[in-house]
Structure 1
Amino acid sequence: MNTSTNLTFKVPERAEVSTNNQAIFDNLQKGLGFVPNLYAYFGKNETALADYLTLQNRKSTLKATEREVINLVTSQINGCRYCQSAHTALGKMNGFTDNQILEIRKGNATFDEKLDALAKFTVSVVENRGKATPQAVETFFKAGYTEVNLIDVIIVVGDKIISNYIHNLTQIDIDFPLVAEL
């Protein structure tokens, strides 16, 4: 429940979404073993779920671990418990330890110089609404990232902001193991 408005936002059941979205629900069920509530909520809209999944699954110059760094940092800054929890689970699937994930959520990755530059760059981008500090940009490029990578980072940040804002507005139930607040 969103306590600021006293409205309850309901996650739709499969039968309550369009035929196209039902097919996507079936694919998610097959691939993940369940339909995450946040994805299901996108299913209320005829095109949003397919559009969002296309954005999320686009080809990228960034590795899965790099995308998880961006997802964790962005979700932490935006205060999205759903995405913090989901991306903690995904981060573990991508080889990060619990301690590394906590460090990433705080905007650092001292265990890996390149990921540390990425985490700090992401913090600067998100906190400054795209106007990253010159130092964060310089450190990002010195770590070996390119302008092509920069574009992909911004696309991942944008993707994550969409899901962060949807959850922050709706406060739908978190169906991943809930992570602790920092």
Structure 2
Amino acid sequence: MSAINVPTREEVSPANQAIFDTLKKKLGRVPNLYATFAHSEHALGNYLASQSAKSSITGKAREVVNLAVSEVNQCEYCLAAHTIIGRKNGLSDEQMLEIRGGRATFDAKLDALARLAKDIVVRHGHPDPSVVDAFFAAGWDKGNLVDVICTIADMTVTNYLHGTTKVPVDFPAAPALNR
């Protein structure tokens, strides 16, 4: 049961209606979680702007962060959506399951990233210094660290929005992670 409804185009402001139209052209539909942002006059536009902001964490690396964070936060919506996006970025289902567990042993640099993203979230922004050191030793730099933290923040917003609203997941469910 959803705590709040998924608004239709007719239920949102004219500015959000324009964003809905753009999303529908780009994606073929407005995903439920994006629509839920539109209960606010500004949240959907602000969130989409943050998603399209320049970052050194892109493609596979971004999906490593998104999947690791969404697993820690137990967000079934974001896990489902980012499993699809992860595939589009060249990650296999097996790799994504490993990433959700906080590792990426198939790639040393992505492994350090997955470990860091998970540790930052699990330890509420106070990662173990050895995990940060391993991140730098794997070839990441200080700018990457800041961008990882920004990516975690973006993902946490959607994780929390879904966790609070419980809007229906409109993507195929992510494979179960054996714990």
TM-score calculated relative to the size of structure 2: 0.97
SS of the residue 2:17 aligns to: helix
1:66 correspondence with 2:66: no
Q: List structure 1 runs of 4+ shifted beyond 2 angstroms.
A: none
Per the alignment, residue 97 of structure 2 pairs with 102
Gapped regions of structure 1 (runs ≥ 5): 3-7
Amino acid at match of 1:15: E
Q: Distance in 1 between matches of 2:63 and 2:93?
A: 13
Q: 122, 144, 147: which one pairs with 1:127?
A: 122
Per the alignment, residue 49 of structure 2 pairs with 54
Q: 87, 111, 126: which one pairs with 2:82?
A: 87
Per the alignment, residue 118 of structure 1 pairs with 113
SS of the residue 2:103 aligns to: coil
Q: Distance in 2 between matches of 1:151 and 1:65?
A: 17
Amino acid at match of 2:31: P
How many percent of aligned residue pairs carry the same amino acid?
Answer: 49
Q: Distance in 2 between matches of 1:181 and 1:39?
A: 24
Amino acid at match of 1:27: T
Per-residue deviation, 1:9:
1.4
Per-residue deviation, 1:161:
0.6
Q: Distance in 2 between matches of 1:177 and 1:101?
A: 15
Note the aligned Cα RMSD (angstroms).
Answer: 0.8
Q: Distance in 1 between matches of 2:135 and 2:28?
A: 37
Q: 13, 38, 55: which one pairs with 2:33?
A: 38
Q: 151, 159, 165: which one pairs with 1:156?
A: 151
Q: Distance in 2 between matches of 1:30 and 1:178?
A: 24
